[in-house]
């Protein structure tokens, strides 16, 4: 015998609080609720306006460093901890919810060039201008005990960057060569060099953990595989790339921040043409970091702004700036996909919301539903001129605007010139290059 | 053996056509074989450095022969001989076979055979050794150039090898240098690229996913093993410590795998997707079952007795038919059926069930005097009893017929009430009066069984039809115009236009009128829909499939927006981008595309309708209840009030005026007096008028063309235009697509909660306070060894395929570009 049970969703009839309005069954007959499109349009417009009104991305500023911030890293296991290094060799550990400095370490003489935390979250590594690699404990030493590194390695040349393996106890540094180190040894277990004298950044691929990519000073990006004896391939671009970041969800994509104000996303299987060129900055891009979902990335620029790009779009969806923020040197996206951290020249670390108008904290079910509905409405009516105009409006400081205008004119002039050259030369002799093709000089095998 | 050597020789000869030395070698080999010495071996030893190619060929053959002949070595041949001897002495075989066996044994034991065999064996062993050596030499690719050089030097032994061959070979292999770093890098890159591409399916899948939940839950939601739970758990309380100490002492295998690998696999066997699919299937099956059950239940629940009666009768008929067949085909089965009938008869006779002796029957008996239905029910009961207790004779055909006739002679309606007792009161007639005609026709026809069958089928069909009609009513189906008779349409129009007379009409009880009014409402609904569609704000201005706008570009400016007022001001200050005015031909095109070219469809012609209407105004919609004088008064009052105020004709005039205004005028470019005589009273000639009068193309049909009582303004409204989309947005290919994407509401005002939830679900969901780790290869790519990209679905969807093709194409493109690109 089959027993049928009456089953109702409590959401349909239970009020959230006793003060709440009674839930009434609703008649969905469309004739009773006419003008659905105009009504939804009005709602969409309102939602867009509210979104812009509530777009207050700036959360907090962490001050305490006595020089410009040169590098930031996230704690591998704790969301609330962040480690930053400054240009005076000082390293600070921050507690984000309390917005306070937990610990200060004078790690190096001169710049702290790079920091990375170990995957287990027990220690972190720093490299500095004093040609040393130091490993520090993340636990603070007891009262009265001096801050001492667990381990110090003296190198032959200055190290400019460091990154740790995702699961194993090896790390990689870059300087004159790209070196792979074992934590237990004081000399590199592996050294890669390919006719370049200095590298500025090296990063492990977080997914394909044996893959490496580095930015070299000869305008090239070099790929490595730690299992192979030689580097894999090299892309030479028109200008130097400062940093790069691998997509944590899509193993073969990485994005590099270039001196020519653009960011380039590459597929390592087809290095000769970047997948996307991300343009919007008006000065050199200094740092880039992917969101942990791999859908977006944030970039820091010399033009004193931070921009957030969707990974497959050519233009940014968001730009953050404040009056006091100077050249942004480093930027990181928090591991819970909610915040962005930026370190800038004027000694502050700023905490931003990754989604400017998002409400923070716990949301009730109805709040969530309303937020989702509004988001969907904006998406649905995004092509309508009023909605689009409001949704896209951003405030920018005057000098950046001016630079932007200038650059647009320059670009236009360049385009016109090229057109004219093409017009007056033999057909086919001046090839029509797309924006993507313009920036890659060569792929070296 | 000779044959084998000959074959070897032939092969060698054919291969060595180009090289005379080779041939010579072959002949030498033959000679050596003929001599019966081990010359072959010697000569091969001599020449092995000189004739590498030959050696290679030979060794190939050697290997194959070794397999065949090597197993047939001297020892084996001895064994064979023994077997043959035994066979030859075997008395069970006949003489001929015994003779052949003995001959074979002699041959095997002969000296020459053994010698040949030995020779061959040695030669082949030699060859196989050489082959292995060569294989070793060729195995290391990096030493290949050296090897080639060495072998090339060996090809021409007479002259100095380094003088002739080496430069040639070296020049050929100059740019192929396997040990150089460039090639190593190339190989390494290819390897890595191939390895990385195994992520492609996963990445594509994630990009297309409607929703992604982060952190990606990599651990299965199924039951966890003990040691997994234990691993992340720290001993805290003293009790726990005690327990763990005990466990430790007894060396409980905490770390050992509690599950066997097979069990583990079975745990992982069904992925989430598979499970979902399976669940969906089960759900579907269950749903189908429940539909079926519901249907059966519904049929059972139908209250109409007649329906059930008819059904029962039909079933009975069926059964009888089957029984007839059974008598012919399966007499035993028929007999059993008969027995069953007999049994039921016995039971009926035993019981008092249909004897009209129960409580119910008694009460009915009291009522029977006054109530026809009660009497009828009692009769039915008795009839049933009679039927059931009737003795069944073994059915022969004619008897059966007569029997059935006997059954049918007392139909149910015989006991019906007398026709029309009280003609005045319709309520007294009962239900049956409505179906009187049907009943009567049944009574007349019930003599012929076959016809009755038809009748019943009809009845069943009618029930079905009625039910369907009811369903249709519920679904509020709007009939299309062509289904309606023209007269009704006309009437409808009359009614719509004369709203003041509607009230009077209400009193009219006539069925037809009801039908008409029903239709009218439907028609009005339809019309309102049309007008809505026509006034759809997104309609116009969408036609220009414009160039791709700068999507995603932020409007960056110095204006700060802090509150809603700012936004409003922003709207006034920043003029929205100029919106292209939709030109007329484009709208025409849209109209043409949107309107199905169905000419057959009946359209309401304005003129026709209006003529009829003019008549209809005169036709009085007589309120039957209202008195004559009153009506006259009313009419006169209305006439007085609207004297000289013909609203309808005004409206028609207005509309026609607007239509005329919308029509393009004929441009007359004739110049009188140009090229001919001019003056007062002279008209330009006809040819000139014909030539210089330019007719513009007719405008697109008006939106209100088919709506007699509506005027739709086709002027563009500037205030609305600011809110309209002027260009077709990027991913859409035509306006219809875009409009459909806008048309469906997603809000809770129009949709149920679950639908809203489903429609508004966000693309990315993150858990608050959870660290989103990068993908871990081991979790996503199960076995790397099978194929690169092995985790993809077995059946590629259309989109996927396209993506694949696209990827292929793009890679080809890339390759093309790469070849063009300058290399360092």
ipTM of the complex: 0.92
Burial B80-109 (b: 16+ CB within 10 A, else e): ebeebbebbeeeeeeeeebeebeebbeebe
Q: Find out if CATH 1.10.1060.10 is the number for domain A58-353.
A: no
What pLDDT score does B615 carry? 43
CB contact under 8 A, B722 and A384: no
What pLDDT score does A374 carry? 96
Backbone angles phi, psi at B743, to 5 degrees: -65, -40
What pLDDT score does B431 carry? 40
What confidence tens digit (pLDDT) does each residue in A48-92 have? Answer: 999 999 999 999 999 999 999 999 999 999 999 999 999 999 999
What pLDDT score does A18 carry? 85
What residue spans define the domains of chain A?
10-54+365-392, 58-353
In chain B, which residues have their Cβ closer than 8 Å to the Cβ of A310?
A: 552
Describe the crossing of helices B305-329 and B331-350 by its angle, rounded to 10 degrees: 140
Count the neighbouring beta carbons within 10 Å of the beta carbon of residue B374. Answer: 17
Torsion of CA B188, B194, B200, B203, to 10 degrees: -20
The burial class, CB within 10 Å (0-12 / 13-18 / 19+), for A204 is buried
CB contact under 8 A, A230 and B188: yes
Q: Let me know: does A324 contact A287? Beta carbons within 8 Å.
A: no
Q: In this model, does residue B429 exceed pLDDT 70? A: no
- Tell me which chain A residue has its CA closest to the CA of residue B757: A369
CB contact under 8 A, B562 and A443: no
The residue among B552, B732, B767 with the most chain A CBs within 10 A of its CB, best to mutate, is B552
Closest CA to A51 of A332, A393, A408, A413: A393
Nearest chain B Cα distance for residue A198, angstroms: 20
The residue among B187, B287, B774 with the most chain A CBs within 10 A of its CB, best to mutate, is B774
Q: Let me know: does B581 contact A404? Beta carbons within 8 Å.
A: no
Residue in B741, B772, B822 nearest the CB of A337: B772
Residue scoring higher pLDDT (B776 or B40):
B776
CB contact under 8 A, B197 and A269: yes
In chain B, which residues have their Cβ closer than 8 Å to the Cβ of A252?
A: 196-197, 199, 203
What pLDDT score does B56 carry? 44
Describe the crossing of helices B20-35 and B2-15 by its angle, rounded to 10 degrees: 170
Q: Which of A169-178, B547-556, B683-692, B729-738 has the lowest mean pLDDT?
A: B547-556
B720: Cβ–Cβ under 8 A, 6 or more apart, which residues? B537
Nearest chain A Cα distance for residue B477, angstroms: 14
Q: Which of A254-263, B453-462, B501-510, B756-765 has the lowest mean pLDDT?
A: B501-510
CB contact under 8 A, B557 and A393: yes
CB contact under 8 A, A53 and B766: no
What pLDDT score does B90 carry? 59
Q: Let me know: does A236 contact A215? Beta carbons within 8 Å.
A: no
Q: Distance of CA B361 to CAs A127, A331, B348, B356, B412, Å? A: 106, 94, 17, 5, 18
Distance CA(B333)–CA(B326), nearest Å, equals 7
Q: Distance of CA A195 to CAs A177, A192, A198, B41, Å? A: 10, 10, 9, 57
Which SS3 state, helix, strand or coil, does residue B769 take? coil
B695: Cβ–Cβ under 8 A, 6 or more apart, which residues? B664, B666
Q: In this model, does residue B108 exceed pLDDT 80? A: no
Q: Distance of CA B526 to CAs B459, B487, B532, Å? A: 34, 18, 10
What pLDDT score does B716 carry? 81
Q: Let me know: does A296 contact B217? Beta carbons within 8 Å.
A: no
Nearest chain A Cα distance for residue B645, angstroms: 35
B382: Cβ–Cβ under 8 A, 6 or more apart, which residues? B354, B356
In chain A, which residues have their Cβ closer than 8 Å to the Cβ of B762?
A: 372, 375
Q: In this model, does residue B183 exceed pLDDT 60? A: yes
Residue scoring higher pLDDT (B166 or A186):
A186
Question: For all residues of chain A together, what is the average pLDDT?
Answer: 93
CB contact under 8 A, B188 and A228: yes
Q: In this model, does residue B537 exceed pLDDT 60? A: no
CB contact under 8 A, B576 and A386: yes
Distance CA(B532)–CA(A35), nearest Å, equals 9
Q: In this model, does residue A442 exceed pLDDT 90? A: yes
Count the neighbouring beta carbons within 10 Å of the beta carbon of residue B735. Answer: 21
What pLDDT score does B198 carry? 92
The residue among A251, A271, A291, A295 with the most chain B CBs within 10 A of its CB, best to mutate, is A251
**Percentage of residues in chain B with pLDDT exceeding 90?**
12
Q: In this model, does residue B210 exceed pLDDT 80? A: yes
B721 touches chain A (CB under 8 A): no
Q: In this model, does residue B269 exceed pLDDT 60? A: yes
Highest-pLDDT range among B47-51, B432-436, B628-632, B653-657: B653-657
CB contact under 8 A, B742 and A268: no
Q: In this model, does residue B24 exceed pLDDT 90? A: no
Q: In this model, does residue B787 exceed pLDDT 90? A: no
The burial class, CB within 10 Å (0-12 / 13-18 / 19+), for A372 is middle
What pLDDT score does B484 carry? 42
Describe the crossing of helices B161-172 and B144-155 by its angle, rounded to 10 degrees: 140
Which one-letter DSSP state was computed for residue A301? E
What confidence tens digit (pLDDT) does each residue in B542-580 have? Answer: 333 334 445 568 888 888 877 778 887 776 554 444 444
Question: For all residues of chain B together, what is the average pLDDT?
Answer: 66
What pLDDT score does A56 carry? 94
Residue scoring higher pLDDT (B16 or B273):
B273
- Tell me which chain B residue has its CA closest to the CA of residue A75: B771
What confidence tens digit (pLDDT) does each residue in B155-170 have? Answer: 444 444 445 455 555 5
Q: What one-character-per-residue DSSP string does A410-439 give?
A: HHHHHHHHHHHHHHTS-TTTS----HHHHT
B230 touches chain A (CB under 8 A): no
In chain A, which residues have their Cβ closer than 8 Å to the Cβ of B778?
A: none
Backbone angles phi, psi at A276, to 5 degrees: -140, 145
Torsion of CA B126, B131, B136, B140, to 10 degrees: 160
The residue among A120, A293, A434, A441 with the most chain B CBs within 10 A of its CB, best to mutate, is A293
- Positive or negative CA dihedral for B800, B218, A291, B554? positive
Q: Let me know: does B443 contact B411? Beta carbons within 8 Å.
A: yes
Region class of A72: left (phi > 0), else alpha (psi between -120 and 50), else beta: beta
Nearest chain B Cα distance for residue A76, angstroms: 9
The residue among B554, B724, B741, B780 with the most chain A CBs within 10 A of its CB, best to mutate, is B554
Q: Say whether pTM exceeds 0.80.
A: no
The residue among A37, A206, A374 with the most chain B CBs within 10 A of its CB, best to mutate, is A37
* Distance, CA of B214 to chain centre: 30
What pLDDT score does B624 carry? 46
Q: Distance of CA B350 to CAs B190, B347, B354, Å? A: 95, 5, 11
What pLDDT score does A115 carry? 96
Mean per-residue pLDDT, B408-431: 42
B656: Cβ–Cβ under 8 A, 6 or more apart, which residues? none
What pLDDT score does B220 carry? 57
Q: In this model, does residue B237 exceed pLDDT 70? A: yes
B749 touches chain A (CB under 8 A): yes
Distance CA(B386)–CA(B406), nearest Å, equals 11
CB contact under 8 A, B760 and A295: no
Residue in B184, B199, B577 nearest the CB of A252: B199
B775 touches chain A (CB under 8 A): yes
- Tell me which chain B residue has its CA closest to the CA of residue A399: B558
Distance CA(A36)–CA(A28), nearest Å, equals 12
Distance CA(A82)–CA(B823), nearest Å, equals 44
Q: In this model, does residue B49 exceed pLDDT 90? A: no
> Facing residues of A306 across strands?
A300, A320
Residue scoring higher pLDDT (B172 or B155):
B172
Q: What one-character-per-residue DSSP string does B321-356 give?
A: HHHHHHHHH-HHHHHHHHHHHHHHHHHHHHS-TTTT
In chain B, which residues have their Cβ closer than 8 Å to the Cβ of A248?
A: 772, 774-775
B528 touches chain A (CB under 8 A): no
Q: In this model, does residue A245 exceed pLDDT 90? A: yes
Closest CA to B730 of B586, B533, B553: B553
B88: Cβ–Cβ under 8 A, 6 or more apart, which residues? B98, B99, B101, B102, B105
Closest CA to B128 of B67, B51, B71, B40: B67
Distance CA(B203)–CA(A12), nearest Å, equals 37
In chain B, which residues have their Cβ closer than 8 Å to the Cβ of A51?
A: none
Distance CA(B787)–CA(B321), nearest Å, equals 65
Under the banding of pLDDT at 50, 70 and 90, the label for residue A253 is very high
Torsion of CA A230, A235, A238, A241, to 10 degrees: -70
What confidence tens digit (pLDDT) does each residue in B665-687 have? Answer: 888 888 888 888 888 888 888 88
Q: Which of A289-298, A363-372, B612-621 has the lowest mean pLDDT?
A: B612-621
Under the banding of pLDDT at 50, 70 and 90, the label for residue A373 is very high
CB contact under 8 A, B192 and A211: yes
Residue in A9, A33, A393 nearest the CB of B570: A393
B618 touches chain A (CB under 8 A): no
CB contact under 8 A, A376 and B195: no
B residues 546-605 near A, CB within 8 Å?
A: 550-564, 567, 570-571, 574, 576-577, 579
**Percentage of residues in chain B with pLDDT exceeding 70?**
47
Distance CA(A320)–CA(A313), nearest Å, equals 18
CB contact under 8 A, B577 and A385: yes
- Both ends of chain B: CA-CA distance in Å? 62
**Percentage of residues in chain A with pLDDT exceeding 70?**
100
Distance CA(B443)–CA(B452), nearest Å, equals 10
């Amino acid at each position: 015998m089959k027993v049928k049970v009456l089953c109702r969703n409590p959401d349909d009839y239970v009020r959230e609080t006793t003060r709440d309005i009674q839930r009434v069954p609703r008649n969905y007959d469309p004739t009773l609720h006419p003008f659905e499109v105009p009504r939804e349009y009005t709602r969409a417009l309102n939602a867009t306006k509210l979104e812009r009104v509530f777009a207050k991305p700036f959360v907090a500023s962490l001050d305490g460093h006595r020089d410009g911030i040169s590098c930031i890293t996230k704690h591998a296991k704790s969301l609330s901890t962040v480690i930053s290094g400054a240009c005076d060799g000082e390293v600070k550990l921050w507690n984000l919810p309390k917005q306070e400095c937990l610990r200060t370490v004078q790690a190096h003489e001169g710049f702290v060039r790079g920091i990375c935390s170990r995957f287990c979250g027990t220690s972190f590594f720093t490299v500095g201008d004093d040609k040393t690699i130091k490993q520090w404990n993340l636990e603070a030493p007891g009262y009265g005990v001096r801050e001492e590194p667990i381990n110090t390695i003296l190198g032959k040349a200055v190290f400019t960057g460091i990154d740790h393996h995702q699961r194993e106890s090896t790390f990689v540094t870059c300087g004159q060569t790209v070196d792979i180190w074992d934590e237990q040894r004081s000399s590199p277990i592996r050294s890669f060099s390919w006719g370049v004298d200095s590298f500025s950044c090296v990063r492990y691929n977080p997914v394909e953990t044996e893959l490496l990519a580095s930015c070299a000073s000869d305008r090239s990006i070099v790929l490595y595989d730690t299992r192979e004896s030689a580097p894999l391939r090299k892309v030479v671009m028109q200008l130097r790339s400062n940093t790069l970041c691998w997509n944590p969800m899509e193993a073969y994509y990485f994005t590099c921040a270039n001196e020519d104000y653009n960011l380039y996303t590459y597929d390592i299987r087809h290095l000769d043409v970047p997948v996307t060129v991300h343009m919007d900055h008006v000065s050199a891009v200094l740092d880039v970091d992917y969101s942990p979902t791999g859908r977006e990335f944030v970039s820091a620029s010399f033009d004193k702004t931070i921009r957030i790009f969707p990974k497959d779009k050519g233009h940014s969806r968001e730009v953050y700036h404040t009056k006091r923020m100077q050249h942004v040197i480093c930027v990181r996206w928090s591991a819970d996909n909610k915040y962005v951290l930026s370190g800038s020249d004027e000694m502050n670390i700023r905490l931003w919301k990754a989604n400017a108008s998002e409400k923070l904290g716990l949301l009730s079910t109805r709040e969530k539903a309303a937020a989702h509905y509004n988001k969907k409405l904006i998406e649905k009516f995004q092509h309508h001129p009023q909605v689009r105009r409001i949704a896209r409006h951003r405030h920018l400081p005057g000098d950046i605007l001016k630079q932007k205008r200038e650059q647009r004119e320059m670009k236009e002039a360049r385009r016109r010139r090229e057109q004219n050259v093409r017009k007056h030369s033999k057909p086919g002799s001046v090839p029509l290059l797309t924006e993507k093709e313009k920036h890659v000089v060569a792929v070296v095998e | 053996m000779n044959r084998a050597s000959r074959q070897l020789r032939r092969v060698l000869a054919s291969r060595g056509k180009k090289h005379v030395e080779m041939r010579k070698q072959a002949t030498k080999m033959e000679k050596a074989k003929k001599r019966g010495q081990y010359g072959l071996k010697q000569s091969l030893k001599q020449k092995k450095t000189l004739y590498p190619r030959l050696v290679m060929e030979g060794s190939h053959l050697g290997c194959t022969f070794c397999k065949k002949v090597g197993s047939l070595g001297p020892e084996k041949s001895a064994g064979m001989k023994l077997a043959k001897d035994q066979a030859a002495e075997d008395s069970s075989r006949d003489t001929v076979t015994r003779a052949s066996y003995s001959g074979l044994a002699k041959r095997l034991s002969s000296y020459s055979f053994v010698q040949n065999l030995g020779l061959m064996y040695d030669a082949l062993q030699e060859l196989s050794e050489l082959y292995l050596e060569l294989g070793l030499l060729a195995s290391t690719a990096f030493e290949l150039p050296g090897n080639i050089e060495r072998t090339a030097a060996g090809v021409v032994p007479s002259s100095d090898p380094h003088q002739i061959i080496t430069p040639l070979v070296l020049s050929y292999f100059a740019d192929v240098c396997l040990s150089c770093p460039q090639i190593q890098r190339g190989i390494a890159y290819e390897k890595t690229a191939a390895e990385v591409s195994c992520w492609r399916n996963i990445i594509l899948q994630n990009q297309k996913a409607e929703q992604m939940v982060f952190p990606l839950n990599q651990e299965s939601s199924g039951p966890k093993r003990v040691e997994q739970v234990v691993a992340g758990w720290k001993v805290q309380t003293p009790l726990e410590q005690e327990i763990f100490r005990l466990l430790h002492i007894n060396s409980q295998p905490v770390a050992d795998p509690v599950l066997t690998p097979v069990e583990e696999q079975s745990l992982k066997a069904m992925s989430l997707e598979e499970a979902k699919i399976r669940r969906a299937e089960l759900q579907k099956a269950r749903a189908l079952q429940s539909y079926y059950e519901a249907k059966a239940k519904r049929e059972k629940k139908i209250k109409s007795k007649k329906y059930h009666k008819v059904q029962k009768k039909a079933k009975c008929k069926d059964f009888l038919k089957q029984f007839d067949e059974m008598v012919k085909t399966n007499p035993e089965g028929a007999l059993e059926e008969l027995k069953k009938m007999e049994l039921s008869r016995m039971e009926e006779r035993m019981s008092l069930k249909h004897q009209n002796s129960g409580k119910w029957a008694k009460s009915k008996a009291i009522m029977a005097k006054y109530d026809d239905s009660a009497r009828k029910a009692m009769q039915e009961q008795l009839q049933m009893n009679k039927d059931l207790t009737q003795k069944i004779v073994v059915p022969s055909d004619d008897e059966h017929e007569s029997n059935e006739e006997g059954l049918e002679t007392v139909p149910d309606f015989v006991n019906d009430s007398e026709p029309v007792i009280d003609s005045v009161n319709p309520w007294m007639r009962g239900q049956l009066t409505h179906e009187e005609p049907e009943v009567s026709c049944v009574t007349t026809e019930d003599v012929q069984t076959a016809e009755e069958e038809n009748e019943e089928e009809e009845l069943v069909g009618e029930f079905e039809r009625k039910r369907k009609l009811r369903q249709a009513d519920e679904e509020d189906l709007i009939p299309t115009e062509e289904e309606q008779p023209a007269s009704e349409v006309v009437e409808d129009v009359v009614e719509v236009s004369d709203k003041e007379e509607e009230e009077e009409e209400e009193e009219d009880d006539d069925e037809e009128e009801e039908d008409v009014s029903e239709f009218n409402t439907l028609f009005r609904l339809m019309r309102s829909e049309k007008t809505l569609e026509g006034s759809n704000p997104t309609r116009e201005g969408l036609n220009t499939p414009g160039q791709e706008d700068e999507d995603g570009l932020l409007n960056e400016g110095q204006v700060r927006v802090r509150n809603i007022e700012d936004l409003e001001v922003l709207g006034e200050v920043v003029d929205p981008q100029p919106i292209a005015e939709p030109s007329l031909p484009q709208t025409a095109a849209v109209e043409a595309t949107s309107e199905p070219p169905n000419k057959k469809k009946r359209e309401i012609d304005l003129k026709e309708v209006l003529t009829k209407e003019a008549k209809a105004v005169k036709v009085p919609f007589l309120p039957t209840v209202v008195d004559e004088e009153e009506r006259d008064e009313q009419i006169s009052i209305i006439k007085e009030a609207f004297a000289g105020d013909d609203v309808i004709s005004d409206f028609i005039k207005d509309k026609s005026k607007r239509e005329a205004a919308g029509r393009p005028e004929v441009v007359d470019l004739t110049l009188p007096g140009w090229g001919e005589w001019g003056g007062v009273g002279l008209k330009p000639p006809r040819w000139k008028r014909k030539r210089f009068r330019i007719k513009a193309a007719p405008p697109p049909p008006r939106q209100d063309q088919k709506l007699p009582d509506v005027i739709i303004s086709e002027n563009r409204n500037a205030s609305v235009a600011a809110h309209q989309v002027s260009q077709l947005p990027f991913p859409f290919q035509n306006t219809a697509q875009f409009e459909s994407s806008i048309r469906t509401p997603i809000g809770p005002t129009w949709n149920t909660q679950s639908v809203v939830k489903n429609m508004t679900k966000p693309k990315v969901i993150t858990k608050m306070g959870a660290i989103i780790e990068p993908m871990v290869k081991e979790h996503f790519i199960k076995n790397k060894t099978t194929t690169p990209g092995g985790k993809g679905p077995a059946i590629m969807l259309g989109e996927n395929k396209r993506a694949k093709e696209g990827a292929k194409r793009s890679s080809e493109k890339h390759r093309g570009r790469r070849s063009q690109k300058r290399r360092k």
